[in-house]
Amino acid sequence: MSQTNLTFDQAMEQLASITSQLEQPDLALEKSIQLFEEGLKLSKYCNEQLKIYTDKINTLVKDYDDNESDEAL
């Protein structure tokens, strides 16, 4: 599943799964590198989504504050 088809929560669940797998002492080096790379991509995706959500929340709060100010006048 590509990251663009994942919800934020699904991506975080995959990151948790990858972390658990990487903690296994008998994991082959090649598999470790593959999982690490996938984890980096998921982490980047999650950070991008958080930025989008943060910007949206800030916009909503600003719009709400602006509307409250207009109503006070």
Question: Is domain 3-72 given the CATH code 1.20.1530 in the classification?
Answer: no
Q: What tens digit of pLDDT does each residue of 6-46 get?
A: 999 999 999 999 999 999 999 999 999 999 999 999 999 99
Q: Compute CA 36 distance to the chain's CA centroid, rounded to the nearest angstrom.
A: 16
First to last CA, the chain: 52
Q: How far apart are CA 49 and CA 53, in angstroms?
A: 6
Q: How far apart are CA 21 and CA 32, in angstroms?
A: 8
Mean pLDDT over 1-7 rounds to: 75
